[in-house]
Structure 1
Amino acid sequence: MNIPVIVLCAVFVLIAVRRVGNLHFGLWQIMLFGGAAVLVTGQIGPREALGAIDPDIMLFLFGVFVVGQALEESGYLFHLSYLAFRRAGSADGLILMILFGFGIASAFLMNDTLAVIGTPLVLLLAKQHRMSPKVLLLALAFAVTIGSVVSPIGNPQNLLVAIHGQMPNPFVEFFRHLALPTVISLLAAFFLLKFFHHESFHGDALVHVRHDLRDKPLARLARLSLILIILLVVVKLALVFTMPQIDFRLTWIALIAATPILFFSPKRWRIVRHIDWRTLVFFAAMFVLMESVWMSGFFQSLMARGNLNPTSIGMIFAVSVLLSQLISNVPLVALYLPMLMHAGTSTRELLALASGSTLAGNLFILGAASNVIIIQNAERKGGHTLSFVEFARVGIPLTLVNVLVYWLFLALL
């Protein structure tokens, strides 16, 4: 009896229903149950569990959460919202701007960063313009997932492929092969959202309201943090091109950006108290559960027993989209990439692995960390949520379209 896999299945079922009798569970509580279950049953030891928690990701999220909380609490985030979206004259225009604006930004600022910053912003837009928060949350989730495909620093799995796949010029390769299918996929997201949530695409003209800053000193620090993120991303890009041997981690970008707030704001402790600690608990527990599943060897043996061609682009997409739901996309890429490198793979196959494991985030909620960040933030800040079914109703057809589009461009064109 494979207890870790059984626990993982139970976690999926609980995430789908979110309720047992009169009890309603948050995502973080369900994942905490999963992590605790494999610890209590001895499927993973305390030392292995602690080692499974990725400090880079935890520190990256902490830094980004601090910046996001300061942007929101100072009111500077909503000031930026007015500047960015004031030209949207209709619901169609607003959703297109969210899809393409956040999509393009996530290619360079990383999708999890945009998920943190974008959630309170789209909730405000939904309230202002009498639109369903669900459709704007879905638009944000799909935007940061699809947009991050086109860049080697859009998400952690892309970075893994770019570095360990030994691409000589990863930014050029990603953009040359994936830019056009990414644009098509963002348009597909727009039309599917309009089909499934047509009631939110009302014909009324949108009236945008400028918001005053709540705390000007904190707003100045938050703006400095945002500028630091952008500048450090540029430094990261320059180092990748000129000195790739220097490991300038994304974690450092987030922590350096949070420094002005943590060092100079008198509200630093209030901001730290109010960041999304539940999402950090979710990720810590997820790392423990996924490590126990990995240690069980279940999926490795499943892949080894299947008489499949693991280097075909179609199979890479199928495996990466489906298994990313079960063992997360970064561990999936860590498992799959050595197989491709050993087989003497091409750039197109590496890009199929990067895009497939990323697009997996559009299928179900657990397919991407950014989905979890968005939903937990929405529940905490506005009492809004997306159920498993609400997400999958649009996510399943969108993922099928996404995979078909990218497969056509990588396999046939």
Structure 2
Amino acid sequence: MLLNLVRPFARDRFLHLLLLVGLALSFVAPFQPKRWVHAIDWHTIITLAGLMMLTKGVELSGYFDVLGRRMVKRFDNERTLAMFLVSAAALLSTFLTNDVALFIIVPLTITLKKLCAIPISRLIIFEALAVNAGSLLTPIGNPQNILLWGRSGLSFGEFTWQMAPLALALTASLLVLCWFCFPNKKLIYQTHDKRHEWQPRLVLSCVALYVVFIVSLELKQEVWGLALVAVGFLLLAHRVLLSIDWSLLLVFMVMFIDVYLITQLPVLQHALAGINQLSNGGLFALGIGLSQFISNVPSTILLLNYIPASALLAFAVNIGGFGLLPGSLANLIALRMANDRRIWIRFHYYSLPMLLWAAVVGYGLLVLLKQL
């Protein structure tokens, strides 16, 4: 049992790389270990932990298998199934946030692999891109928008209207790409598999615990909410807690510390001192470029100290979620759940061209909006 919990940490090469990066940075950035714990966004860690438990509970209940069978029977070809899942990921991310949307869509997608021959890794890549495109629409779609919305002084509707052109353009572009990347190939349902039994009691318990957890997040009592979810699974199905990839949480904690160390580098702080002298194009490129290396949420936090929460900054950091893997934490969540080593390279075959296209479209829209 203990070995099963430790094994993911020992095999996680990405975690090992982040630890080495942090070690190297600690020699060139101010060494202040006491501040590292404050560099971690504990709200994000707690939220992820709760969602991981709840999603794994539904997965082990067998309900995703039942839902997957119904979906395969409803969609008769690969293209329509892919278009539906990508559209669902984009739509869910607009009001459930990008991370929550992935915790719903990706496990369901993985279940489909048992039922028919479909390119699971490619589907998960498109779902990761879809939540980046869909979540930028609303103030609550992702963490960076929450920050920008709070600083902008705009209403919910005004912020959404500001982001709508970019969200619609990128979502439409992604669906067109999806149409060409998934063939009109008939799905072959594997009827030889025996009928899968599922556990309604466990599913209903997960739904109840989900409500409790969401309410606790709203009341700013996330620690108590996480504790209730954990105790619930200890009593109902302790195997859920043993089946979770807990190393993912450590990956996020180390990432937050690494990003903090990067932002403390004297060379970076000196470079940002003259940020006000940059043109709009320079600020736009900076927001995108910075997001590629320290992720778009830390980039937003950092840049808000120098420039206002304008449409330019909102466009830049949201577009920065595409491209390299660190651009958005949602990318990491999706690819980790895929459990496929080759997906890490394949992701960039689609995400890098999408970044270039999004940058062109986004800057063009900013210029157009400025002229209106």
TM-score class, shorter? 0.7 to 0.9
Matched, 1:361 2:324: no
Q: 1-side partners of 2:306 and 2:140: how far apart?
A: 22
- The equivalent of 2:198 in structure 1 is 214
Q: Which residue of 1 aligns with 2:81?
A: 94
Contact 1:91 1:206 in 2 (8 A): no
Q: Is residue 193–residue 394 contact of structure 1 (8 Å, CA) maintained in 2?
A: no
Aligned twin of 2:172: 187
Q: 1:411 aligns with which of 364, 367, 370?
A: 367
TM-score by length of 1: 0.76
Give CA-to-partner distance per residue, 1:125-145, whole Å, 9 cap, x none: 245331222210111111111
The one of 251, 258, 263 aligned to 2:232: 263
Distance 2:211 2:300 in 1: 32
Conservation of the 8 A alpha-carbon contact between 1:67 and 1:261: no
Q: Please report how far the alpha carbon of residue 64 of structure 1 lies from its aligned counterpart in structure 2 after TM superposition.
A: 1.0
- Taking the aligned partners of 1:392 and 1:148, their CA distance within structure 2 comes to 20
Give the match's secondary structure for 1:338: coil
Q: What is the CA–CA distance in structure 1 between the aligned matches of 2:11 and 2:234, rounded to whole Å?
A: 37
SS in 1 for 2:286: helix
The SS at the match of 2:264 is helix
Alignment identity in percent?
Answer: 24
Provide the residue aligned with 1:386 in structure 2: 343
Instruction: Tell me, yes or no, if the aligned pair for 1:69 and 1:275 is still in contact at 8 Å.
Output: yes
Choose from 285, 296, 302 the match for 1:329: 296
- What is the aligned partner in structure 1 of residue 5 from structure 2? none
Q: Does 1:352 align with 2:337?
A: no
Aligned counterparts of 1:283 and 1:176: Cα–Cα separation in 2: 32
- Alignment deviations for residues 172-201 of structure 1 (CA, whole Å, 9 cap, x no partner): 123213234323312322333455xx4x42
RMSD: 3.2
1:128 match: secondary structure: coil
Q: Which amino acid in 1 is paired with 2:200? A: K
Q: Report the counterpart of residue 339 of structure 1 in structure 2.
A: 306
2:35 counterpart residue number: 48
C-alpha displacement of 1:296: 1.2
Q: Which amino acid aligns with 1:354?
A: A
| Contact 1:102-1:114 within 8 A present in 2 as well | yes
Structure 1: 5+ residue stretches without partners: 1-22, 237-247, 342-348
1:80-126 alpha-carbon deviations (Å, 9 max, x no partner): 44566754332221121122111110111111122233222222224
How far apart, in 1, do the equivalents of 2:248 and 2:202 lie? 24
**Pair 1:93–1:281, CA change in 2 (3 A):** same
Match of 2:3 in 1: none
Instruction: Identify the residue that residue 124 of structure 1 maps to in structure 2.
Output: 111
C-alpha deviation, 1:157, in angstroms: 0.7
Q: Could you list the runs of 5+ residues in structure 2 that have no partner in the other structure?
A: 1-9
Q: Deviations 1:275-297 (Å, cap 9, x if unpaired)?
A: 22111111111111111111113
User: Between Structure 1 and Structure 2, how many residues are aligned?
Assistant: 358
Distance, in Å, in 2 between the alignment partners of 1:297 and 1:156 is 27
Q: Classify 1:175/1:166 alpha carbon distance in 2 versus 1 (closer, same or farther; 3 Å).
A: closer
